[in-house]
Amino acid sequence: MASSPDGVRRSRMFDGLTDAERDCWLDKATTVTLKRGQTLARQGEPARSLYLVESGFLKVLQLTAEGTELIVRFVAPCEPFGGVVALNNAPYPVTATAAQPSVLRAWPREVVATLLKSTPQVSVNIMREMATHMTDALTRVRELTTARVGQRLAHTLLRLGRQCGQKTPEGLLITHPLTRQELADLTGTTLFTVSRTLSEWEGKGLLETRKRLLLLRSLPRLEALAGSDEDDG
């Protein structure tokens, strides 16, 4: 999924800024290019830079005490990563890797501090994004403890559709390639269960698999499944 320089200028990170202020931020940015699988930041390392995805996709992981990596979320074009750089001496709470070849805008901590003095609204926007991620994480925890697998998978697909969905005549296409294992990790279930459930839903016309892309053919039915007590719809 690709953005454009104009798309980056319209990022939520710059909400409330004038065009000149947005241009000032972008003029101070450097460009970072990542290959698929390359690590951008590691959990526990000092947060040195703030990033804004221009194209591609980041996978955000968190390491458990047992050494297992859990998928926390994905970062799509026009979305920021590393907002903790706005906090004093904070480490990265997660690891970010490129889920596909990616291009990002980057601002070192010292540059961010200078820019925030003239445009403090960006700090408010960054905190809002962090609060949104925290709310999403708490929602996922609640789903894991109270919702059935089918509900969780439906919620996961709807969230991905909102984040990186592209409207087509046939439905909403999730433009980020996803493996069944990634969906299982996001949903908190097994690869077998996700594969079986997706196959059942595809047979019922709810969605369609196009290589590693998913086309959500019926959002109302998925929304009904998300609120249903039945796993298979």
Select from 3.30.70.260, 3.40.50.300, 3.40.50.10330, 2.60.120.10 the CATH code of 5-143.
2.60.120.10
Distance CA 84, CA 92 (A): 7
pLDDT tens across 65-111, in order? 777 778 888 999 999 999 999 887 889 999 999 999 999 999 999 99
Give the residue extent of every domain in the chain.
Answer: 5-143, 147-226
| Res. 169: pLDDT tops 60 | yes
Select from 2.20.25.570, 4.10.490.10, 1.20.120.1200, 1.10.10.10 the CATH code of 147-226.
1.10.10.10
pLDDT tens across 126-158, in order? 999 989 888 887 887 788 777 899 999 999 999
**Are 41 and 92 contacting, i.e. CB atoms less than 8 angstroms apart?**
yes
pLDDT tens across 17-56, in order? 999 999 999 999 999 999 999 999 999 999 999 999 999 9
Q: What is the mean predicted confidence (pLDDT) over 198-220?
A: 92
Consecutive H or E run containing 198: helix 191-203
Would you state the pLDDT for residue 140?
A: 79
Would you state the pLDDT for residue 231?
A: 46
**Are 84 and 92 contacting, i.e. CB atoms less than 8 angstroms apart?**
yes
| Res. 224: pLDDT tops 70 | yes
Query: What is the 3 state secondary structure string of 140-191?
Result: HHHHHHHCCHHHHHHHHHHHHHHHHEEEECCEEEECCCCCHHHHHHHHCCCH
Q: What is the mean predicted confidence (pLDDT) over 196-212?
A: 92
Distance CA 220, CA 12 (A): 27
